[in-house]
Amino acid sequence: MTRKKKPKTATTPSPKSARILPSRFFISLIFILTMFGLLIGSPLRARDRAKTAPYALISGTVWGPDDRPVYGVEVKIRLAAERKPRWKVYSNRLGEFEQRVPAGKRDYVLWTDLKGYKSRIYKHLQPGPKVTVHTEGDERVNTGLHLK
């Protein structure tokens, strides 16, 4: 007894279902969406920018005893009138750090905290003196912290 082979059928899409919408429709749709986004999106972005409070930026570099930047050191920042640190940041690969603080006339005290800090290069680091920074408004203040 021989088996009958099933006929192979090939389906082709009908011309009506394969029709793609005209490119003019897509172009006009993109134009409308772009204009709608520009008209509606820009006031929203402006309102978001207006909500952002002004700030001052304290930035600096942590220097080692051999005047090279030191990576991974914790820097603590507080207002001069307070006792406890309000902000803690770490120095990056270039030894630099940045912290946003409220704008206005204020004095800040910065110092390094070396508890738990380990380095292959520096075996016995000691924290340097505390540094006082004064801000007048929304400005950037650069400083440096030196380790012993």
For the chain, give every domain's residue range. Answer: 22-52, 55-146
Note the pLDDT tens digit of each residue in 5-53: 777 777 666 665 555 556 777 787 788 877 776 556 555 566 666 668 8
Looking at residue 8, its pLDDT comes to 75
37-51, 80-94, 118-132: range with lowest mean pLDDT:
37-51
Q: What is the phi/psi pair of residue 49, to 5°?
A: -65, -35
Looking at residue 64, its pLDDT comes to 95
| For residues 95-111, average pLDDT | 96
9-18, 81-90, 112-121: range with lowest mean pLDDT:
9-18
**% of the chain residues with pLDDT over 70:** 80
Q: What global pTM score does this model have?
A: 0.66
**Check whether domain 55-146 has CATH 3.40.50.1820, yes or no:** no
Residue 13 or residue 90, greater confidence: 90
CA separation (Å) from 126 to 44, 45, 145?
50, 47, 12
pLDDT of 86 > 70? The answer is yes
Which uninterrupted H or E stretch holds 44?
helix 23-51
